[in-house]
Amino acid sequence: MTAITASAPARARDVLAAEWIKLRSVRSTYLTVLFAAVAAVGVGYLVTRSQATHWATMTAQDRASFDPVDDSYTGLGLAQLAFGVIGVLAISSEYTTGLIRTTFAAVPRRRAVIAAKAAVVGAVTLLAGEAIAFATFFAGQQALSAGHLNVTLAHPGALRGVLAAGFYLAVMAWAGLGLGAVIRHTAGAITAVIGIVFLLPHIIQALPAPWDTRIGKYSLDIAAQQVIAQHPAAGYFPAGPSFLIVAAYAAAAIAAAALLVTRRDA
């Protein structure tokens, strides 16, 4: 009994270490994070810089909808896609090359593999996501300072929005991991991520009222916007319930992967 108990933590550490080596040894991980950072910071800076420049000529309606925090994350959509791709490649690449059979042979408990991948991908993308979120916020506020429109992290709702933006990127990575495990094909899983990031929000917004709001408040993208925004949109869930919805998507994706991985051949 003692020997089994002592060996279990070591085995868990071995699985985590193996997944960490896989993730950090692939060049695409670094390139994708770099693309996400450049897209989020660059687009956010350009948009907020334009707002600061044209503030004097903006309409009253545009000024009323101005959000110094949420507007800084205009480029987050591209970063979302990039982080989703990281999650997909963390498992789909093994199915493509056939190395998943070696992984499952070394670790017969397949759910332990999914758990280790989720832990490693989550830790890496959460750290990277928060770093990108803070960098994007500060870049945006620097641009807005030209028109004295900037805010600090002490501003009500600002820190919550920044932390939520970084967490959302990690959620996209978990969603990508879950889709990669379910679909088991890189192109198909990435297409699914693209649909979640870009296509689904437009379909929901095109629905007639009040269904656009009733369904939209349960969607991943809109729920994340509600948490990030300084002034959440009326008719949707406030920041607290919206955060739970965002987290539920990550949990559902990993749960689906854990459920199906034991019911299908590698």
The whole-number average pLDDT for the span 163-168 is: 97
For 55-83, what is each residue's pLDDT tens digit?
A: 988 898 888 889 999 999 999 999 999 99
- Spatial neighbors of 57 by CB under 8 A, at least 6 apart, are none
The whole-number average pLDDT for the span 224-240 is: 90
Torsion of CA 243, 169, 38, 19, to 10 degrees: 160
**DSSP structure string for 58-72:** --HHHHHT--TTGGG
* pLDDT higher than 50, residue 168: yes
For 45-56, what is each residue's pLDDT tens digit?
A: 999 999 999 998
What does the alpha-carbon distance between residue 228 and residue 80 come to, in Å, rounded to a whole number? 14
What does the alpha-carbon distance between residue 232 and residue 162 come to, in Å, rounded to a whole number? 14
* pLDDT higher than 90, residue 206: yes
* pLDDT higher than 90, residue 266: no
Q: How confident is the model at residue 7 (pLDDT cuts 50, 70, 90)?
A: very low
Residue whose tokens read 């299908």:
264
Q: What proportion of the chain, given as a percentage, has pLDDT over 90?
A: 80
What φ, ψ does residue 152 adopt, rounded to 5°? Answer: -110, 175
What does the alpha-carbon distance between residue 235 and residue 208 come to, in Å, rounded to a whole number? 14
The highest-confidence range among 10-19, 91-100, 122-131, 194-203, by mean pLDDT, is 122-131
Residue 232, pLDDT score: 79
For 212-223, what is each residue's pLDDT tens digit?
A: 999 999 999 999
What does the alpha-carbon distance between residue 173 and residue 121 come to, in Å, rounded to a whole number? 7
Q: How confident is the model at residue 12 (pLDDT cuts 50, 70, 90)?
A: confident
The whole-number average pLDDT for the span 90-99 is: 92
Written as one letter, the residue type at 22 is K
